[in-house]
Amino acid sequence: MIYSRVIGTGSYLPEKILTNQDLEQMVDTSDEWIRSRTGIAQRHIAADNEMASDMALNASREAMKAASVSAEEIDLIIVATTTPDVIFPSTACILQDKLGVKDCPAFDVQAVCSGFVYALATADMFIRAGKYRTALVVGTEVYSRILDWSDRSTCVLFGDGAGAVVLSRSDRPGIISSHLHADGSYKNILTAPGNVCGGKVQGTPFVMMEGNTVFKFAVKVLEEVVHEALAENNLKASDIDWLIPHQANIRIIISTAKKLGIPMEKVVATLEKHGNTSAASIPLALDTAVRDGRIKSGQHVLMEGVGGGFTWGAVLVCW
């Protein structure tokens, strides 16, 4: 059997930090409200000239170094992003050029905060099919550019950053299973509904969210998709060594873990330091737990995400 294995992880957060105290000076909010309602203390903000591909490049270089993989060995690049550098070409093609990778397929995946899970599942399919050997999978976002900084209900939630993994063909698992879902009938509860037409933005280009509806939907589908992954592999919740959830809100993470019966000691939560970085949030949390030694060889790691679309999914990995 052919499997794909994660052989290296990397991440990057921009230098500039925006704290809850900084936000208190910008909108009618408080550190206490943000911390208690979301678990977020600070977020990183990309420099004016720093693009999604630049952050992706930094995270990718770290992941490739950890995997001891050179640019010549990469034969597939998938970038998950909602905030691409430009309308086209894809951020994956721009990243390919910056990395000096020659002649391999490179494309973006747009599944908002579930983007990394979608991208990882896609790369896994290509490797399992025997088509490619070494894939670079990246989540990178500059949400600071699509936030209305006068809207306290959204601007306190998001941040910028990138995370990456190198996936390699292997004869042992690896990625055990992936589970992807979407329901477009919920397209309006989390959206940046603007578009470009005739050289102008039509509609609003900023993130708009029905926070409470999204919250309830997220807890429901994340519980369901984790049960789906466990059932397909005849595993129990207690068999999961590490749950790596999308880092949107600590209350969503706690509620989901509680419903699943997974103790918080087995849950990786990093959002306090970087807020919701959408497609970058899962690989950022994963890289943290790999580098600090929490995730060990042979352990079951379950990543799960949910985001605009609505999209949601999970990837189960034997590390």
Chain residues in the site for ligand UT7 (CB under 6 A): 29, 33, 37-38, 113, 152-153, 156, 190, 211-212, 214-215, 218, 248-249, 252, 276, 306-307
CB of 62 to ligand UT7, least distance (A): 24
Sign of CA dihedral 59, 162, 107, 221: positive
Task: Considering the candidates 246, 249, 274, 300, report the single residue annotated as catalytic.
Answer: 246
CB closer to ligand UT7, 99 vs 207: 207
Which distant-in-sequence residues (6+ apart) come within 8 Å of 212 by Cβ? none
The least distance separating ligand UT7 from the CB of residue 315, rounded to whole angstroms, comes to 17
Q: In what order do the strands lie in the sheet with 76-80?
A: 3-12, 160-170, 134-142, 76-80, 106-109
Residues 181/312, Cβ–Cβ less than 8 Å: yes
Q: Which is nearer to ligand UT7, 62 or 304 (CB)?
A: 304
Query: At which residue do the structure tokens 């280009």 appear?
Result: 205
Catalytic residue among 113, 179, 249, 300: 113
3-state SS record for 123-163: HHHHHHCCCCCEEEEEEEEEHHHHCCCCCHHHHCCECEEEE
* Smaller CB separation from ligand UT7, 191 or 288: 191
Catalytic-labelled residue, pool 20, 58, 249, 276: 276
Closest distance of CB 211 from ligand UT7, Å: 3
93 is catalytic: no
Kindly tell me which of 10 and 307 has the beta carbon lying closer to ligand UT7.
307
Nearer to ligand UT7, 113 or 267 (CB): 113
Phi-psi region of 87 (alpha: psi -120 to 50; beta: other; left: phi over 0): alpha
The question of whether 188 is a catalytic residue gets the answer: no
Q: Which residues pair with 298 in a beta bridge?
A: none
Q: How far is the CB of 21 from ligand UT7 (least distance, A)?
A: 13
CA–CA gap between residue 288 and residue 9 (Å, rounded): 9
DSSP 8-state symbol, 204: -
Residue 270 C-beta: closest distance to ligand UT7, Å: 14
Question: For this structure, is 276 an active site residue?
Answer: yes
Which residues are identified as catalytic? 113, 246, 276
